[in-house]
Amino acid sequence: MSYTIAMAGKGGTGKSTTATLIIRYITEELGKAVLAVDADPNSTLGLSLGIEVKSTIADIRDDVVEKRVDIPASMSKDRYIEYRIEESIVEENKFDLLTMGRPEGPKCYCYANNLLRRYLDKAEQSYPYIVIDTEAGMEHLSRRTTNDVDLLIIAFESTIIGVHTANRITELIESLPIKINKYIYVMCKVPAKGVSEKVKAEISKSGIEVSAELPFDDEIYDHITSGESLLEISTENNVYIKIKNLMNKLVTVTTDK
Ligand SMILES: Nc1ncnc2c1ncn2[C@@H]1O[C@H](COP(=O)(O)OP(=O)(O)OP(=O)(O)O)[C@@H](O)[C@H]1O
Ligand SMILES: [Mg+2]
């Protein structure tokens, strides 16, 4: 079984950034392989990992369902889909990346989601860690597109709206059809002057326990604006150090894979 980490949080909060640095932590610090999954239809995880994604699960769905490809006579449809998904995975030295993409119509999400879920069930056998970057709405978690989650990271900004959204996500978690073993709150893009008293009061009122405060960071800003991979930021980067410390406390080292 894999140790599965998933991200949740409002749009633009810092989910993909955090997921990228967690992938780096697992591969560099723990020396373990990761399946990185970009489950956001507006895929950006590849960008922060510095990877060009050529094919997505949505493309495969569109090709097969809209009959844009001839499935070889020697292959069943299922086998063909499996082959295409394996082909779409970008293999890097220490991790693989699978990208969901955006299917053509809203009705097509269900099919693509099922493909993703089937693949993730299988991936449990071969990857010690799976890191899933999700879209803001938590659809993947609520439609049970992902496996059970060992660690859900709720990313939120240090604003009143940020705290309200984190609360709403917490309420949603209770009603999800998947098992979440543990969830934590990570405050992202905290300004240099610190968190305002009003926001602090809102946090304590809601009972949220913040596991890490990640500062707004110029190096991350520079890397993203110049299109460089976040895997290249300094090992002494403040945000990366905070993520390393947090993960050291939380993530179980699996020795079987
Ligand atoms: N600690 C940080 N310091 C500086 N910039 C940051 C930091 N964290 C995130 N950002 C920037 O904020 C923007 C949003 O971050 P990110 O893409 O990680 O959020 P997201 O929650 O995945 O967004 P979306 O919901 O759109 O996928 C990006 O431009 C990212 O580079
Ligand atoms: Mg994102």
Residue 68: which pLDDT band, with cuts at 50, 70 and 90?
A: confident
Domain coverage including residue 216: 3-250
* Residue 139 resides in a domain: yes
State whether the beta carbon of 216 lies less than 6 angstroms from ligand 1.
yes
Structure tokens at 12: 């633009």
Strand order in 95-99's β-sheet?
90-91, 95-99, 34-38, 129-133, 3-9, 149-157, 180-190, 210-215
Residue 252 in this model has a pLDDT that exceeds 70: no
Q: Mean pLDDT across the stretch 185-210?
A: 97
Q: Which residue owns the Cα nearest ligand 1 atom 8?
A: 14
Q: Is residue 210 part of a domain?
A: yes
Tell me whether residue 111 is in a domain: yes
User: Is any ligand 1 atom within 6 A of the Cβ of residue 13?
Assistant: yes
Instruction: State the ligand closest to the CA atom of 14.
Output: 1
Ligand nearest to the CA of 215: 1
**The pTM is what?**
0.95
Q: How far is CA 172 from the centre of its chain?
A: 18
Q: What is the CATH number of the domain that holds 23?
A: 3.40.50.300
Number of domains in the chain: 1
DSSP 50-101: T------HHHHHHHHHTT-SPPPTTS-HHHHHHHHHHHHSEE-SSEEEEE--
Side-chain half-sphere CA neighbours of 117 within 13 A = 17
Residue 257 forms part of a structural domain: no
Cβ of 46 less than 6 Å from ligand 1: no
256 in any annotated domain: no
Q: Give the separation between CA 52 and CA 71, rounded to whole angstroms.
A: 26
Q: Considering the domain boundaries, does residue 157 fall inside one? A: yes
231 CA distance to ligand 2 centroid (A)? 16
For atom 18 of ligand 1, the residue with the nearest CA is: 14
